[in-house]
Amino acid sequence: MTIKGFLIQNSLLLTLLIESPNNMKILCILYDDPKTGMPDSYPLNDLPDLEKYPDGMSLPSPKSIDFIPGQLLGCVSGELGLRKFLEDAGHTFVVTSDKDGAGCQADRELVDADVVISQPFFPYYLTRERIESAPNLKMAITAGIGSDHVDLQAAMDHKVDVVEVTYCNSRSVAEHVVMMILSLVRDYHNQHRIVNEGGWNIADAVHRSYDVEGMHVGTIAAGRIGLDVLRKMKPFDVHLHYFDRHRLPTEVEEELNLTHHESVESLVSVCHVVTINCPLHPETEHLFDDAMIGKMRKGAYIVNTARGKICDREAIARAVESGQLSGYAGDVWFPQPAPNDHVWRTMPHHGMTPHTSGTSLSAQARYASGVREILECFLDGTPIRDPYLIVQNGQLAGMGAHSYSKGSSTSGSEEAVNYKK
C-alpha cells in the first residue's frame, strides 16, 4: 500500500470513529465548587447502608461506581463520579457551571451534545430554543427528581427523552420539610439570631413561638415526598390532611388518620401548616397566588420544597408582610440561582435556604449512582427503569405520565443571569 493510500484509509477510519454513534458527547451542568475548595475531609467516614426505598423499589444499581459515597459529587469537581467511566469508553465528557446568559459555556457545548445532565438545585433551563439548537440531542437526564427545568413539550416535539432518578432524594426532601415546619412554628430562626447577636431576652425569643402539637398540617400532593412528610409528622400528634388527584389507599388513610380534600382550597382553609410537594407544570404554576393565599387560615405557614414557581413570589411577600402568613420557608426559588434582589431573601419571617433539601451528601451518592445506571443503560441500548422515565419516544412516560402535564414551565428562566456571585 502506498503512503497516500495508508493515509486515506486511516483518515476514513478516524472519521468513522469520530462520527460513530458509540462515541457520544455528554454535557453535564453542576453547581460550583466550595469557595474554599474541595474538602480534605468530611464529618462522617461513611454512610448508613440502605438497601431499598420504603415502597420496595431498589436503590440505583449501576454495574460499578468510581466515587466514594458521602463525598461531594454534585459540584463541578465532583463530576458525579462519571469522568473515568465515560472517557474510558471513548466518550467526550464536559462539565461546567457556566449556564446562564448569552454565550455561556453550556450553550456553546450543547449544540453538538448527545446527552445533557442537569440538576434541580442548579438547573440548566432546557428551553425550546436550546433544544432546537442541539440537533444531536437524544436525552436530558435530571440528576435528582423534578424535570420542570426542561420544556417537556419541546422535548416531546423533538423526540428528546427526559429521565430522572426517581426517589433518589425524596426522603432527604421530606426530612428538610419537617425541619422547616418545626423551625417556622417554633420561630427558631429568630431565637438563633438573638443568641448570635449576644442577646438573651426570653420574651423577644418566644413572642412568635408555638407548639406544633394539635395543629392541622396538610400536604399539596401525597406522592413519595408528601406521603413521607405525613408519616414523619404523625408522631407530633398533629391532624393530617392531604390533597392529591390520586387518592391514597384506604388502609394508608386509616393508618395515618388522614383527611382527604377534593380541592386545594378546601385543604388550605383548615390547615395551620401547608407543605407543597407537587410537581411544577402549567397547571400548578402560580397556584399559590393572592387569591389562594387569601383563602388560607389567617396566620398559617407555608413550606415549599417543590418548586418556587408554584408560588407567586410577590403574593407570598405581601402575605408575610400583612400577617396573612405567619411565615414562609423552603429551598426552591425561580429562577435558580435566585437573583440577589429576590424579595424572598429579605422579607420577614422566612426560613429560606438555597436549593439544598435534595442534595445532602447522602442524596448525592444516590443520584450519582442513578445517573450512572441511566447512562449504562442508554449506552448499552438496554431499557431504562420505567419509574425513571418522564418523556420517551415523544410522549409522557413512566413517572412523567403520572405526575406531569404537557407544556412548559420554563418561561422567565432567563432571569437567572441576574444572580451575581
8 A C-beta contact, residue 96 and residue 122: no
Residue appearing with cell numbers 428562566: 413
**Residues 119, 191, 324, 336: which is the catalytic one?**
336
Distances (CA, A) of 219 to 85, 109, 227: 40, 40, 8
**Residues 149, 224, 350, 355: which is the catalytic one?**
355
Residue type (1 letter), 281: H
3-state DSSP: the chain helix, strand, coil percent, rounded to 5?
Answer: 35, 15, 45
The pair phi, psi for residue 304, each rounded to 5°, is -125, 105
Taking the CA atoms of 293, 123, 354 and 230 in sequence, report the sign of the dihedral they define.
positive
Helix 224-233, helix 170-185: angle, nearest 10? 50
Residue 257 falls in the annotated catalytic set: no
How far apart are alpha carbons 275 and 330 in whole angstroms? 9
**Residues 169, 277, 324, 364: which is the catalytic one?**
169
Residue 392 falls in the annotated catalytic set: no
How far apart are alpha carbons 260 and 254 in whole angstroms? 11
Q: Could you tell me how far CA 381 lies from the centroid of its own chain?
A: 27
**Residues 171, 176, 272, 307: which is the catalytic one?**
307
How far apart are alpha carbons 357 and 172 in whole angstroms? 6
Residue appearing with cell numbers 428538610: 176
Q: CA gyration radius for the chain?
A: 23
Of 186, 173, 179, 187, the C-alpha closest to 348 is: 187
Residue 307 falls in the annotated catalytic set: yes
Residue type (1 letter), 62: P
8 A C-beta contact, residue 57 and residue 387: yes
ω before 335 within 30° of 0 (cis)?
yes
E strand residue ranges, 145-285:
161-164, 216-220, 239-243, 258-261, 273-276
Q: What is the 3-state secondary structure (H, E, C) of 318-351?
A: HHHHHCCEEEEEECCCCCCCCCCCCHHHCCCCEE
Residue 169 falls in the annotated catalytic set: yes
Cell for 93? 465528557
Q: Point out the residues that are catalytic.
A: 169, 307, 336, 355
